[in-house]
Structure 1
Amino acid sequence: MRGYFAIGAEGISKPMNLGALMRTANAFGASFVFSVGAEPKLKVAYKADTSKTFESVPYYQWDAISDMALPKGCQLVGIELTDDAVELPEFRHPKAAAYVLGRERGDLSPEMLARCDHVVKIPTKFCINVSLAGALVMYDRALSMGSFRDRPVMPGGPKED
């Protein structure tokens, strides 16, 4: 898979969710992980992150949206349930992307949404856990940008003639 990605959350308040997001990001090969406007207790996040992401993947903790410093050419993709958002299965992931998720029991701020190059929604009836949402986005990226073969039409693959 070419390109790179990062994932983070705005206003995350539960360090265990940050730790779980970081662990999953490490598993999917994220280039970096970040938070914006959060003050997580990093010692608690370390406990949730059994893969010790902090040792191998950079973590950026920005106090405000204006502090965010993404690499040149990196597109910011907001993950949010809005009426005008593109549904995840129809979204074409940018080669260089930073995905930002909203806080627990809340949304991405209007300022963050304005900063996003794209807004994408996971086709669910209501919001799901931030670390689970992150996992779904990273899995979709891997499927759509990886060099996987098409799935067989029938279980076990097509029958040979």
Structure 2
Amino acid sequence: MRGYFAIGSERISKAMNLGALMRTANAFGASYFFSIDAEHELREAYAADTSKTAGQIPYYQYDTIEEMQMPRGCQLVGVELTDDAIMLPTFRHPNQAAYILGPERGSLSPDIVARCDHVVKIPTKFCINVSLAGALVMYDRHLSFGGYPARPIMPGGVTGDGRLPG
């Protein structure tokens, strides 16, 4: 896979959601994980993060978006269910990206949205769990950059040998 990515959340309030998002980020090969204005301590998230992500990849905690530092060339991609957001299945992921999700019961703050280079939405009827949304975004990125052959035309068919590329 090309490039790198990070994922995080603004104002995440449930430790289990943070832990699940961290574990999924680790599984998909995130370069780092971050939170902005999180309402809990990292140790509370360990119950859901059995992969011990904080010991595998860097975890950055910021109090405000102004404090957030990103690598040069990294594009911030907001994930938000808004009318003008780009549908995730049509989005070309940047090679260097940091994805940010909103809180469990709310939206990304206007300051975050203003800082985003892109805003994408998952085509659902309503908002879904923050850790599930993060998993879908990372899976979509993985499919986009994974080097998989085109899908077969017939249901149940397999293209190639059915194994992971690489």
Per the normalisation by structure 1, the TM-score is 0.96
SS of structure 2 residue aligned to 1:151: coil
Superposition RMSD on alpha carbons, in Å? 1.0
Corresponding position of 2:64: 64
Corresponding position of 2:21: 21
Q: Deviations over 1:41-77 (max 9, x none)?
A: 3222011100010111100000000000000000000
Per the normalisation by structure 2, the TM-score is 0.93
Match of 2:149, as an amino acid? R
Corresponding position of 2:79: 79
Give the distance between the partners of 1:145 and 1:40, measured in 2 at CA: 33
Cα 1:43–1:85 shift into 2, 3 Å: same
- Mapping of residues 10-159 of structure 1, within 5 Å: 10-154=10-154, 155-157=156-158
User: Tell me, which stretches of 5 or more residues in structure 2 are unaligned?
Assistant: 160-166
SS of structure 2 residue aligned to 1:69: coil
* Number of equivalences: 158
Task: Return the offset for 1:5.
Answer: 0.2
SS of structure 2 residue aligned to 1:18: helix
Match of 2:152, as an amino acid? P
Runs of 4+ in 1 over 3 A off after TM superposition: none
